Amino acid sequence: MSMTGSIRVLVAAEGSGGHLIPALEMSRVLAGFGAQVTLLYACRKPTAPLLQQLIHDARIDGVQTAPLRLRSVGGAQRWIQRLWQAVWIWRLTRERLKTLAPHVVVGFGGWWSVPVILAARQQGIPVLIHEQNVRLGRANRLLIRRHWVDQAAVSFESTRQELNGTPAVVTGLPIRRVIGMARREDAARQFHLDPQRQTVLVLGGSQGSKPVNHLVQQTLGLLSREERDAWQFIHLTGAADSTEIQRAYAAAGVRAWVAPHLLEMAWAYALADIVVARAGASTIAELARCGMPSILVPYPYAAGHQRDNAALVESAGAGVQLEEAAATPPRLHSLLWQLFANQGLRQTMGERMRSLAKPEATYHLASAVIGMAQVPAERAASGVPALEKRNEACLRYT
């Protein structure tokens, strides 16, 4: 048995695809490396089938916790509910840790990860966290300040300055390996769209975005007859708005493929010329892999971390940041018209976006986890470097 076969890893990821997809990609590579990986996760009901399919594809053990929800209360009641939920997750994790006996626990952010990391820390298990965004999220910032983390892996070099002396490695953000590998003509057939038409891809994140949906819906009424004939859309709406948005495209006479979610995102990126999206970290990483010029409408809440992501892209000349408060239909229409009218500008933006990509992110993060795992000394001394070197090529492209 290889050294890595003796490594047991517990991965904690919560909520959206922005947390879960990087966790799954890293877990898939670790499993291919021979490690025993268990993913402890919670997800929202609309995206559960998609995420369960990804877990199955990754060939790892997935343990789904109840998707605990806060009732519509505020003030002290809300914090009491959150405290009880954290205690519940902490107790569940303690039991899992006793059963699994992992060598390392890896957290991917979100408040749900805090009690998981605390339970691991109390049992003396090494902890690594991954930060997807340019700026530390609130949960990871708390873990860093409490010194509950042995090592941090970050997606961007600039994040190091927030780590308060915690050892860190810049890995980039793991994304699905198929992203950037599809052909435009094949993608057009998948969506029954025209490969010759200028195509806008609209994304609201894994849960969808009502503000982005309604912004695009209202922009449709501003399109000229020529634009209606020349443009087409792929629009991922989330569960709530799919029917309404589909009707809006039909009423406007604009060709479009509309769905709540899409697992095979590689097809969507392959056909798109411009992307209108939120500025989540996974979206940014996928856009970078594909070299996609973008109009980013960052989510204005959650400590504003999407603004920092969008600002990084804009400062690189790879996209345009459009604040939600200023995101009017005339403004979006003007930006789309300018980008479609200037192929050279789109090409330049795409090249600059691609320069932000870190194609080896999954391998580097998996290597960091292996480096932290507590294994028998005689195997650690002789097995890890040789195994990593021997499997480097297959890990990169598995």
Q: What does the pLDDT read at residue 85?
A: 81
Is the distance from CB of 57 to CB of 29 less than 8 angstroms? no
96 Cβ contact list (under 8 Å, min separation 6): 10, 38, 40, 63
CA distance 178 to 181: 5
What pLDDT tens digit does each residue of the chain (398 aa) get? 344 567 999 999 876 777 888 999 999 999 888 899 988 877 665 556 666 666 766 666 666 665 545 555 556 777 777 788 888 889 989 999 999 999 999 999 888 889 999 999 999 999 999 999 999 998 999 999 999 999 999 999 999 999 988 999 999 999 999 999 999 999 999 999 999 999 999 998 777 889 999 999 999 999 999 999 999 999 999 888 899 999 999 999 999 999 998 989 999 999 999 999 999 999 999 999 999 999 999 999 877 889 999 999 999 999 999 999 999 999 999 999 999 999 999 999 999 999 999 999 999 999 999 999 855 434 444 444 433 433 343 333 33
- DSSP helix/strand/coil, 98: helix
* Distance (Å) of CA 375 to CA 2, 180, 334, 369, 372: 12, 36, 58, 12, 9
Q: For the CA atoms of the chain, what is the radius of gyration? A: 22
Nearest to 121 by CA among 93, 100, 141: 93
The amino acid occupying position 296 is: L
The amino acid occupying position 351 is: E
pTM of the model: 0.86
100 Cβ contact list (under 8 Å, min separation 6): 8, 10, 38
CA distance 17 to 35: 23
CA distance 131 to 145: 14
The amino acid occupying position 179 is: I
Phi, psi dihedrals of residue 325, rounded to the nearest 5°: -65, -25
The amino acid occupying position 207 is: Q
Nearest to 184 by CA among 294, 290, 295: 290
Q: What does the pLDDT read at residue 75?
A: 63
Q: What does the pLDDT read at residue 44?
A: 60
Q: What does the pLDDT read at residue 126?
A: 95
CA distance 280 to 19: 10
Output 91-99 pairs: Cβ under 8 A, ≥24 positions apart. Answer: 92/65, 93/12, 93/40, 93/119, 93/120, 94/119, 94/122, 94/123, 96/10, 96/38, 96/40, 96/63, 97/10, 97/123, 97/125
Nearest to 130 by CA among 169, 162, 158, 179: 169
